Each structure stands twice: as C-alpha cells, then as structure tokens.
Amino acid sequence: MLFRMTTAEALVAADRWPEYTYADLGRLMSSMTGDEKHSTAATSTLDVIWVLYDSVLDVSPETVDHPARDRFLLSKGHGPMAYYATLAAKGFFPVTWLADWASYDSPLGHHPDRTLVPGVEISSGSLGHGLPLAVGTALGLRAQGIDSRVVVLVGDAELDEGSNHEAIELAAALDLGALTVVAIDNRSSSYAVPGRIEERFATEGWHAVGVDGRDHAQLRLALSRPQPESATGKPSAVVAYVEEKA
Amino acid sequence: MSRDPRATFAATAAELVEDDLSVALVYAEISGQYFGEVEQRHPERVINVGIREQLLVNVGAGLALTGLRPVVHTFGSFLVERGFEQIKLGFNHQDVGGVLVGSGGSYDNTGGGRTHQVPGDVALMDSLPGWTIHTPGHADEVEEAMRLAVAGSGRDYVRVVAQQNREAFPVRPGRFHLVRRGQGATVVAVGPMLDPVLDAVGDLDVTVLYANTVRPFDTRSLRAVLGTPEVVLVEPYLAGTSSRCVDEALVDVPHRLLALGVGREELRRYGTPADHIVAHGLDAAGIRRSVSEFLAA
C-alpha cells in the first residue's frame, strides 16, 4: 500500500523512473489538479523550489535521513503542488502518489506532513512556524558541528505573523549564517509596504537581496553559498518577486 | 530544610547539559539567574531567546528535529498558554520529543496576579496526546523527574512549583503511590496536595493515592485500591482537570466523584500563596470541609 511505503521502497521505485526536468513539472502538477494551466498562486513557489532541489541544496533521496543533509523547510504549507511535484520529480517519492493527493489514503495533503512524506522536513500549514523551527534547526546543527544549510520558504503575507519577527531578530543576534529565508512575494499581504521585507531583514542584520522569482539564474546566484557576508555569520534573506496574486 | 524546587530544576538542567552532549537548554530570560555559568561553558547548547516565547518553543522543537534533547523553560503561563500552538505543532505535529518545564504554577506568584498564574496548564497539555505530565511535590522529585524525562525520548511536561510536601516519593510515570490504605473513599492527591490531604483526612477511613506524575493517569492503581466507589481528586491546578480520567477508569463502576482544585473564576486578589491556597479550599481545613460534605452526602 502506497501509504505505508518506506523511503527505501520509494527509492527502489524511483530507480525505475526517467529523470524528470523542469519542463515536466507542469505535467506533474496537472496530474494533481486536473488543470491544464495553473494559476499564478499555485506556481508562485515553483521556480524557487525547483532551483533549490535541482542545483542548490545538498540533499537527495539517498541522503534524506543523513544528519548532514541540507534542510529545506516549506513554511508556507498551503498550495504545496509545486513542492510535491518537485520532490516526486527528484525521486523522493513515486510520481504515482500525485494523482490521488488529499484523498483519505494518500500521504499527500493540502499541507505537507513530515511523518507521511519522504523528504518533507517539517509539517506545515499554520503560518509563522517554519522560520522559528528553522532557527532551532540551525542552532541544533551548529551545536553538533554540522555545517549544513537550512533554507526556509515563507510567503510575503506569512510575514504578517509576529512569530517570524522573534525568529528574524534572534537569527541575526546569534549569527546563524547557515540560515536562508526565501520570501515569495506575490503581494498577498494586506497593509504591505513595497520594499519592506528586504528592508526589515537588512535592518535586523541580515544579508538581504531581491530577485526575480522566475529567473533561475538569479535565484541560483542568490541562493547559493557563499553569500557575500556569510563569513561574518549573517543569515541571508532572498525576496523572490513573482506575479501578483490574482 | 529541603531545597527550592525551581533552583533544583535549574541546577539539574545545568548538570544534564554538562554531562550529555545531546541535551540543550532553551529559555526566555526567565530563570537566567541560574544559568549564567552553564551558558558560558556551553553557549551552543544553552540558548536564551530573549522575551520571545513563541520562538522559545519552536526553537526547542527545531533542536529536536536535529536529534538533540531540548529542555524548554519559562514560567508555565508563557510556556503553555502563549506558546500553545507551538507546542501542538512544533512537538506533537512534527512528532518530536522534548522536555517542557513550566514554573510558577497556579499561585507561586500571587503578587503578580493572573498574568503569572497558570491553573489551566495541565488541562491544556492534556488536550494533546502522548505527554507525560510530571507534578512533583518535592524538590527531590523535581530532580528525579528531570533526569528521567531528559533520559527519555518522548514528550514530557514538568510542572515546577514552590509548594512542597514533607516527604519525597520515587518518580514512576504511570504509577501512583499508595500512601494510606482505608476501607472507604479514595483520595488522589496530586503533587504538593499530598501534605494538606494527609493532614485533612488523618482520622478518616480513606485510601490516599499520591500522584507525582499525573499523566499517564494510573487507572490500574485506582481500580485496585478502590473501597467504596467514591473518589476525591485534589489537584493544585484547575479543578476537574483529571475528572475524565477517573470516569474512564471507573466506566463500569457506578461511582461518585469530588474534584477539588483551583477555581475557574479569577480570584483578583494578591497576598501570599498561603492566602490563595485557602481561597481555593486547598488547605487542610478546606479539603477536610469538602471531603466531609461529600462523604456525608
């Protein structure tokens, strides 16, 4: 039964599959939504997540439980189709899981559950938890002398939640250079102020840049180590601008 | 003179950090006066997050995600009530373990008022599955509960309060201690309620069970010692918190239950802990009064 499939079994299955590319993601997402074309909201995270798993993060189905793997924490857990599609494309679990997602027997819900899905680092859904969890994760890795990266994806409206700001302040104070926040900005926050996200991170002592959230070369450059100030232990924020939410 | 429970918690936590590389201590300013030395020695594993309680809990959970055993501490009110969703999602939903230690309880800080009192902590924690809830009634039990909890891998909540019993009992999660055997009703005294209970029922033919770990609730012992089908719960937090456990334990036994504890209404009085204990009817005289009425009914 798919629901009970272990990581190892999923890997065996994965070995039989062709290698998927970015061009396949739309089809994989269509197998979930039944839609030919996806709304911009559904794909707002697509390019960031693909670039991370394709060319930035040091994590694979083989190292999914390795203590020194890089961690990607999807804090903005809603609209996880692009995340699931990428994980399936990279072989973390069978692509056949996508079709019946959110059914009673599927491990794939509308919000990801780390106990059900291989490769998922945190269970998310309620906003404002991923970044604080990422701070704890980065501290735990550092305490154990593990030089892995922790990348956490948040939405611009998610930053409304005050819990994030507790985390933003502490991460800079404790020099968590291993930590990167990617904020997908599709202007969905009420009472937004243009440019505020970058400015706030910078004010709190982070290295902060804004990039085109659809431009893979820009994303790769911004998300790759070393950041210009990583030597000083500054955590890094990348604001990825995408189309405005309809 | 026995040790101070909160200072005992802090000293034990510091020793555990010192002895075990997998133990991390996270706190939010509160109790910082105890942690200076160990924080200086182990800055990577002793982390003060400042006055940021939501972050406090999730940093603990994040540490646990990397395999460390986190001890997470502040006043119980800020830990459990302010950070409750973080406990629910950071620990239960992520399915990681940790040791949460809340101090202050229902009436340690009477001058501080409602903001610093947490009579609802056990009820809240009890709404989440799988937490071992320690209610030590003696500093020695605080130390033993801490060592036991940190050595494990599950989810533990340790409720550290100033009120203490004369005698310490071993900490055995899932087991209550049979302190007195009688023919009549059974009184379950939780944590620091044991001494006032013993003082209250000295001349009554009742059984007294003592719980320094209240979850899991020891239903087996309750059934085993039950004389007349009458149970009195005496809890140093919200009255009735463990009523459901008694009812579940005695689901097939027609029984009567008296649940004593901290009142639901805000007291809006300051004074001393002793004043509050009397106001909630949790001193020996108050317990005696309630138990006599209950048994006479």
Per-position DSSP letters for A110-152, written without gaps between them? SS--TTTSTT------STT-HHHHHHHHHHHHHHTT----EEE
State percent of chain A over pLDDT 90.
83
**Position A190 pLDDT exceeds 80:** yes
C-beta atoms surrounding B250 within 10 Å: 18
Question: Is the CB of B49 less than 8 angstroms away from the CB of A122?
Answer: no
User: In chain A, which residues have their Cβ closer than 8 Å to the Cβ of B93?
Assistant: 113, 123
pTM of the predicted structure, to 2 decimals: 0.95
Q: What angle do CA B123, B124, B129 make, to 5 degrees?
A: 95
Residues in chain B: 297
ipTM: 0.97
Among candidates A48, A72, A78, which has minimal Cα distance to A60?
Answer: A72
Assign residue A237 a region (left: φ > 0; alpha: ψ between -120 and 50; beta: otherwise): beta
List of residues 6+ apart from B50 with CB closer than 8 A? A166, A169, A170, A173, B28, B29
> Angle, nearest 10°, between helix axes A130-143 and B53-65?
50
Question: Is the CB of A140 less than 8 angstroms away from the CB of B67?
Answer: yes
Q: Does A129 touch chain B (CB under 8 A)?
A: yes
pLDDT digits (tens, 9 = 90+) for A57-66: 999 999 999 9
A4 confidence band (pLDDT: 50, 70, 90): low
A232 vs A45: CA distance, rounded Å: 29
A21 vs A39: CA distance, rounded Å: 20
Strands lying side by side in the sheet with B46-48: B46-48, B23-27, B69-75, B98-103, B155-160, B131-134, B213-215
C-beta atoms surrounding B77 within 10 Å: 24
Tell me what pLDDT residue A34 has.
80
**Position A13 pLDDT exceeds 90:** no
Residue B250 CA, distance from chain mean position? 23
Handedness of CA A21, A24, A25, A28 (dihedral sign): negative
A5 confidence band (pLDDT: 50, 70, 90): low
Q: Tell me the one-letter amino acid at A14.
A: A
Residue B195 CA, distance from chain mean position? 16
User: In chain A, which residues have their Cβ closer than 8 Å to the Cβ of B47?
Assistant: 139, 174
Chain A residue closest to B48 (CA)?
A170
**Position A87 pLDDT exceeds 80:** yes
C-beta atoms surrounding B21 within 10 Å: 14
**Position A141 pLDDT exceeds 50:** yes
Tell me what pLDDT residue A7 has.
54
A1 confidence band (pLDDT: 50, 70, 90): very low
A245 confidence band (pLDDT: 50, 70, 90): confident
B58 to chain A, minimum CA–CA distance in Å? Answer: 5
Q: Is B272 within 8 Å of B278 (Cβ atoms)?
A: no
**Residue of B24, B54, B65 with shortest CB distance to A163:** B54
- The SS3 assignment for B250 reads coil
User: In chain A, which residues have their Cβ closer than 8 Å to the Cβ of B27?
Assistant: none
User: In chain A, which residues have their Cβ closer than 8 Å to the Cβ of B68?
Assistant: 140, 143-144
Q: Does A86 touch chain B (CB under 8 A)?
A: no
Among candidates A104, A111, A115, which has minimal Cα distance to A81?
Answer: A111
Give the residue-averaged pLDDT of A87-113.
96
A158 vs A239: CA distance, rounded Å: 13
Tell me what pLDDT residue A36 has.
74
pLDDT digits (tens, 9 = 90+) for A32-42: 988 777 777 67
A2 confidence band (pLDDT: 50, 70, 90): very low
Among candidates A64, A87, A83, which has minimal Cα distance to A74?
Answer: A83
Residue A87 CA, distance from chain mean position? 11
A139 vs B134: CA distance, rounded Å: 28
Phi, psi of B190 (to 5 degrees): -105, 130
List, run by run, the mean pLDDT of 10-residue segments along chain B (297 residues).
91 98 98 98 98 98 98 98 97 98 98 97 98 98 98 98 98 98 98 98 98 98 98 98 98 98 97 98 98 97
